[in-house]
Amino acid sequence: NAGVMQNPRHLVRRRGQEARLRCSPMKGHSHVYWYRQLPEEGLKFMVYLQKENIIDESGMPKERFSAEFPKEGPSILRIQQVVRGDSAAYFCASSPTGDLNEKLFFGSGTQLSVL
């Protein structure tokens, strides 16, 4: 039973380019969460999605960032016109439901570096 799969593991982009980060949740999990981690910081919530729906995007910057979780295929976090401040580790997590006592299973993260 594969865990949460994120790719790429490392992504290098120049300022102004687009970054697309992919996340395949664990089998049977329909809830996906994206988090961002800056160096020496904890994880900051960005967005919570269920299949085809954005449930909570309160942590997403208003511009340049978008996320989707289509009926088929992985969840995508898209960052348009990247800037140096977007450099961070982006983690995806999944869970089968949104129950209170349910742990989130995390992927290994995508390290985005903006040159």
Partner 1 sequence: AQKITQTQPGMFVQEKEAVTLDCTYDTSDPSYGLFWYKQPSSGEMIFLIYQGSYDQQNATEGRYSLNFQKARKSANLVISASQLGDSAMYFCAMREVHTGANSKLTFGKGITLSVRP
Q: Which parts of this chain interact with partner 1 (CB under 8 A)?
A: 31, 33, 35, 40-45, 48, 55-56, 58-59, 89, 91, 93, 95, 98, 100-101, 103-109, 111
Closer residue to partner 1, CB minimum distance, 13 or 31: 31
Q: How far is the CB of 40 from partner 1 (least distance, A)?
A: 8
Shortest CB 81 distance to partner 1, Å: 26
C-alpha–C-alpha distance, residues 81 and 73, integer Å: 24
**Are 81 and 18 spatial neighbours (Cβ–Cβ below 8 Å)?**
yes
Strands 110-114 and 105-106, sheet pairing = unpaired
Half-sphere exposure of 32 (CA within 13 A, CB side): 33
Instruction: Please state, in angstroms and rounded to a whole number, the distance separating the CA atoms of residues 36 and 44.
Output: 5
| Nearest distance from C-beta of residue 73 to partner 1, angstroms | 22
- In the complex, the smallest distance separating the C-beta of residue 56 from partner 1, rounded to whole angstroms, is 5
The DSSP bridge pattern shows strands 10-13 and 110-114 to be parallel
Q: Which residue, 43 or 82, has its beta carbon nearer to partner 1?
A: 43
For partner 1, the closer CB: 15 or 46 = 46
